Amino acid sequence: MKRLFWKPEKLLVLAGLALSVILCRVFQIPCLFKAVLGIPCATCGMTRAYIALLHFDLRSAFAYHSLFWAIPILVLLFWFDGKLFPKAWQNIALLSSILALFLFRWIILLL
């Protein structure tokens, strides 16, 4: 029970991801997916959505990326080893639903 919240290896992964997003934003590094393939990635607009959210502008956050709310859920799933709910099928259903929403939004974006 002691390691429930103190997971240094996972904290390092999350800190690395956050740092990479911050560095890309500060140095204005474009999305590599879009730069290489010429199409937006499934998470294009996510950084702008969180910046809008930090300014308490919920409407703009949804306009930039309507699934910004799903990232904290995915982080919790990662943090708790995919076990937010007692039954495995519930966790799989949650993850599958979020991934399906990202795919659906991406397809709409590409049209």
pLDDT of 25 strictly over 90: no
Question: Does residue 50 contact residue 68 with C-beta atoms inside 8 Å?
Answer: yes
Q: What is the mean pLDDT of the chain?
A: 90
Going 44 to 46 to 51 to 52, the CA torsion angle's sign is positive
pTM score > 0.75 for this model?
Answer: yes
Mean pLDDT of 41-50: 90
Q: Which residue has the higher pLDDT, 57 or 8?
A: 57
Q: What percent of the chain has pLDDT over 90?
A: 58
Residue 43 has pLDDT above 80, yes or no: yes
Residue 5 pLDDT: 66
42 token code pair:
């499934």
Whether residue 42 is predicted with pLDDT greater than 70 in this model: the reply is yes
Residue 23 has pLDDT above 90, yes or no: no
| Average confidence (pLDDT) over 21-29 | 84
Q: Which range has highest mean pLDDT (14-28, 31-45, 93-107)?
A: 93-107
